[in-house]
Amino acid sequence: MNLDPQMTLERCETLMLDMDGTILDLAFDNYIWKSLVPRRYAAANGMTFEAAREHLFEQYSAIQGDLEWYCLDHWNERLGIDVVKIHHDVTHRIGYLPGALDFLRNVHQSDVRVLLVTNSHPDTLDLKDAVTGLADYFDGIHSSHTYGHAKESQSFWKALQDDVGFDVETTLFVDDSQPVLQSAQKFGVEMLVTVTRPDTSEPTKQGSEFRGVEGVKDLLPRTS
């Protein structure tokens, strides 16, 4: 659907928002998985950082998009290090993307049903909520771990629809992941928007097939 992203809020009855890279800065997660986990893994296994990083990136890519990729219990067992503790060690790095909190406050006061739809593991979700208080702004919080399927899977969308009863024609879904948006599109969700700067430590992403905004704040009506 070739729709101006700013018009989508006016048309939608249900607003589904991803968490990491859409509401919260993906810089936290990228730091954890690309820097801190390899560093701790290297120390635990007598490896150089570079060797550990190369090994872990192979492990990541092998299951990326599967539910296990998002499961901290899986990585605790597979890597033999306390990944949950690593997250707790750097909670000061957790934060909203620019303008995201104001956006949540705005839509929370509207008639739109606002749902958090995330692949985040419940432990990570609880930690980020404790730091940011984001749950206060949602009418429902839905983790893919509850349904047993990642958002990349059609089974997730079927389970979510059975649970919350959203209409694909009047639902706006915002995410930074292209495979996830493609999955939602395949399921029939018509209003899809991607966030083009999910990580404030990196430049804006280019080349998405979906209409993009730098941040969710850009979905709000322009003020004169």
For 79-119, what is each residue's pLDDT tens digit? Answer: 999 999 999 999 999 999 999 999 999 999 999 999 999 99
Q: Please state, rounded to an integer, the average pLDDT across all residues of the chain.
A: 94
Domain ranges of the chain: 5-25+96-219, 28-92
Cα(7)–Cα(31) distance, rounded to whole angstroms? 34
Convert the chain into a string of H (helix), E (strand) and C (coil).
Answer: CCCCHHHHHHHCCEEEECCECCCECCHHHHHHHHHHHHHHHHHHHCCCHHHHHHHHHHHHHHHCCCHHHHCHHHHHHHHCCCHHHHHHHCHHHCCECCCHHHHHHHHHCCCCEEEEEECCCHHHHHHHHHHHCHHHHCCEEEEHHHHCCCCCCHHHHHHHHHHHCCCCCCEEEEECCHHHHHHHHHHCCCEEEEECCCCCCCCCCCCCCCEEECCHHHHCCCCC
Quick one: average pLDDT of 196-212? 93
Query: Residue 186: its pLDDT value, please?
Result: 98
Task: Return the amino acid letter for 68.
Answer: E
Structure tokens at 167: 């209409």
What order do you get walking across the sheet with 113-118 strand by strand? Answer: 140-143, 113-118, 14-17, 171-175, 191-195, 211-213
Whole-number pLDDT of residue 64: 87
Task: Please give the structure tokens belonging to residue 82.
Answer: 């306390």
Tens-digit pLDDT profile for residues 115-146 = 999 999 999 999 999 999 999 999 999 999 99
pLDDT bin (cut points 50, 70, 90) of residue 154 is very high
Share of the chain above pLDDT 90, in %: 86
- pLDDT at residue 90 in the model: 96
pLDDT tens digits, 18-50: 999 999 999 999 999 999 999 999 999 999 999
Strand partners, 195: 213
Give the pLDDT band (50/70/90) at residue 4.
confident
Regarding the domain with residue range 5-25+96-219, which homologous superfamily does it belong to in the CATH classification?
HAD superfamily/HAD-like (3.40.50.1000)
**The residue type at 215:** G
Which token pair is 150? 């990642």
Q: Name the band, by pLDDT with cuts 50, 70 and 90, for residue 223.
A: low
pLDDT digits (tens, 9 = 90+) for 47-71: 999 999 999 999 999 998 889 889 9
Q: Is the confidence at residue 1, as pLDDT, over 70? A: no
Task: Give this prediction's pTM.
Answer: 0.94
Structure tokens at 162: 């059975």
Q: Are strands 14-17 and 113-118 parallel, antiparallel or unpaired?
A: parallel
Q: Residue 224 pLDDT > 50, yes or no?
A: no
